[in-house]
Amino acid sequence: MAFGRHLLLLFALPLNPTMTSYAKPGVRTTSVNYSAFDHLHFYVGNAAQAAAYYITRFGFSPLAYRGLETGSRSILTHVVKQGDITLAFSSALTPDNADMSRHLAAHGDGVHDVAFRVDDAAAAYAMAVEAGGPDVSVSPPQELKDESGAVTVATIRAAWPDTTHTFVQRSAYEGAFLPGYRDSRPAGEGNGGGGRGGSVGDPLVTLVGTPGLGVIDHVVSNHADGNMEGVVSWYERVLGWHRFWSVDDKQMHTEYSALRSVVVADPDEVIKMPINEPAPGRRRSQIQEYLDYYGGAGVQHVALRTTDILRAVSTLRARGVTFITVPGTYYEDLRRRLAVAAAEPGGVSVAEDLDALQELGVLVDFDETGYLLQIFTQPVGERPTLFLEIIQRAGNEGFGVGNFKSLFEAIEREQASRNNL
């Protein structure tokens, strides 16, 4: 990335459409405090198999379960966790579940709900409905209780169809996930271990270990050309968020395709959501491919942050995760650029061994604030839609714009193999 956080000084000016920009938040318009992505809720064709995939491949551990045994007669859900990353996978138990059937027919497996952990779910919901109108409401605030305490949840429609946001207030809850779910943590980690939804743990842990993924860093959504600004404005108006970072197609392009992106963030910049749209190009962009196969706007990828990407990627590869690759010339250029940066006063240097990063295929982006390390998986489902990013930050709060050209070219090679470029 060519510019750093000092660009906050430019917040009073329009963002330059030809450069990467950070934007300073203006006057806080919400009293709600966001503390994390609480969880991501997927609609999938087979929840048990989806959860097992993330357990065996990505090192997640069983957390909670709901189904016929817990009184849920129409929906089965398996919940898994690693660090503070929680993923819930739901499937219909009966053939008359029209909502899930329609979602799966239109989109395939995908993220249906992006849930935020807040200090006041009722206040977050009230602001959203007041600003967005009654149609934004899906489920008003309700308090869920069991022997482990109480959780308040409320759900609204997101800025695009077929995706929702749930506000989760769980400070008074000590259970595994939510009331109504059975604890399925392995013995020694909770109260689970018995019956359907229980677990004895992942035997791969003793063979290859766990990757050490810690938190959801950001969640990216793709939108049709011309829709990005409207979605960004929705987060500003309805949730009281602000623009954190932006880049346009002058930088994010290859010979064949391009995109524009604006990152929105909550007032405390704990939660960040890049909003992407394709820009006109000579061929079909990765964003347009996603839109075509997902059937519209949706979550394109989820970035999972770690403090040790070498360990994480080595472990994930040992577990069978496949990643997008870049040519060796990328690392030749990287070494040249890092050598120039290190020679400058206060220049950045990368602590990790570059040979090890190259061997694993990890990308490096840097500016005067620090650097980040990132790598992207192949799509995790049948359709070329959702994929995951593994990221480690060392002072750099950007999104790897310096890697976008190499990443785009790598994705285009994958598109070409699918006859979709």
Q: Are 203 and 216 in the same domain?
A: no
171 and 288 both lie in a single domain: no
Q: Which residues pair with 220 in a beta bridge?
A: 301
Q: Tell me the pLDDT tens digit for each residue of 374-389.
A: 999 999 999 999 999 9
Q: H helices of 153-300, where? A: 204-208, 228-238, 286-294
Residue 292 is which amino acid?
A: D
Of the candidate ranges 263-272, 353-362, 405-414, the one whose mean pLDDT is the lowest: 405-414
Q: Are strands 242-247 and 363-367 parallel, antiparallel or unpaired?
A: unpaired
Report the distance separating Cα 364 and Cα 383, nearest Å. Answer: 28
Q: Which of 155, 181, 208 is the last residue of a domain?
A: 208
Residues forming beta bridges with residue 31, ordered by sequence position: none
Phi, psi of 247 (to 5 degrees): -155, 150
Whole-angstrom distance, CA of residue 390 vs CA of residue 373: 8
pLDDT band at 15 (very low <50, low <70, confident <90, very high): very low
What gap in Å lies between CA 326 and CA 154, rounded to an integer?
Answer: 43
Residues 24 and 38 in one domain: no
Regarding whether 62 and 11 lie in a shared domain, the answer is: no
Q: How far, in Å, CA of 114 to CA of 197, rounded?
A: 23
Pairing of strands 272-279, 213-222: parallel
Q: Output the pLDDT for position 249.
A: 44
Last residue of a domain, one of 193, 208, 223: 208
Label residue 409 by pLDDT band (50, 70, 90).
Answer: low
Structure tokens at 89: 């996978």
Neighbouring-strand partners of residue 365: 372
Which one is predicted more confidently, 32 or 258?
32
pLDDT tens per residue across span 206-236 = 888 999 999 999 999 999 999 999 999 999 9
Asked if 70 and 137 sit in the same domain, the reply is: yes
pTM: 0.89
Number of domains the chain is built from = 2
Are both 234 and 169 inside the same structural domain?
no
Secondary structure class of 207 (helix, strand, coil) = helix
Verify that 219 and 110 share a domain, yes or no: no
Residues 16 and 49 in one domain: no
Q: Which helix (H) or strand (E) holds 415?
A: helix 404-417
Residues 303, 186 within the same domain: no
230 and 363 both lie in a single domain:
yes
Confidence check: pLDDT of 194 > 50:
no
Q: How confident is the model at residue 259 (pLDDT cuts 50, 70, 90)?
A: confident
Same domain, yes or no: 20 and 155 = no
- Integer-rounded Cα Rg, in Å, for the chain is 21
Q: Are 371 and 364 in contact (CB under 8 A)?
A: yes
Q: Which of 234, 241, 213 is nearest to 116 (CA)?
A: 241
- Selection from 215, 218, 387, 146 nearest residue 289 by Cα: 387
Per-residue pLDDT, 10: 25
The pLDDT of residue 228 is 97
pLDDT at 336 over 60: yes
| Number of Cβ within a 10 Å radius of residue 329 | 9
pLDDT at residue 2, as a whole number: 34
Least confident of 64-68, 156-160, 400-404: 400-404
- Same domain, yes or no: 399 and 291: yes
pLDDT single digits (tens) 77-133: 999 999 999 999 999 999 999 999 999 999 999 999 999 999 999 999 999 999 999
Q: Which has more pLDDT, 271 or 204?
A: 271
Per the structure, the complete domain to which residue 326 belongs is given by: 5-28+212-417
Write the CATH number for 50: 3.10.180.10
159-163, 200-204, 268-272: the lowest-pLDDT one: 200-204
DSSP 297-349: SEEEEEEEEES-HHHHHHHHHHTT--B----HHHHHHHHHHHHHHHHSTT---
Across the range 318-330, mean pLDDT stands at: 90
Per-residue model confidence (pLDDT) at position 204? 81
pLDDT reported for residue 268: 95
Structure tokens at 383: 């359709």
Write out pLDDT tens, residues 18-66.
345 566 676 788 999 999 999 999 999 999 999 999 999 999 999 999 9
Can you tell me the distance from the alpha carbon of 113 to that of 86, in angstroms, rounded to the nearest whole number? 12
Residue 376 token pair: 């992207």
CA nearest 213: which of 329, 292, 303, 286? Answer: 303
Nearest residue to 293 via CA among 389, 409, 404, 419: 419
Task: Write down the pLDDT at residue 169.
Answer: 98
Residue 201 near residue 187 (C-beta atoms within 8 A) = yes
Q: Is the pLDDT of residue 269 over 80?
A: yes
Neighbours of 71 (CB within 10 A): 8
**What percent of the chain is predicted at pLDDT more than 70?**
84
Q: Are 39 and 115 in contact (CB under 8 A)?
A: yes
SS3 state of residue 400: coil
Of the three residues 140, 173, 208, the one that is the final residue of a domain is 208
Note the pLDDT tens digit of each residue in 338-374: 999 888 887 889 999 999 999 999 999 998 899 999 9
Count of C-beta atoms within a 10 Å radius of residue 336: 10
What is the enclosing helix (H) or strand (E) of 411?
A: helix 404-417
And the tokens for 141?
A: 């605030």
Is pLDDT above 70 for 253?
no
pLDDT band at 328 (very low <50, low <70, confident <90, very high): confident
d(C-alpha 88, C-alpha 218), whole Å:
17
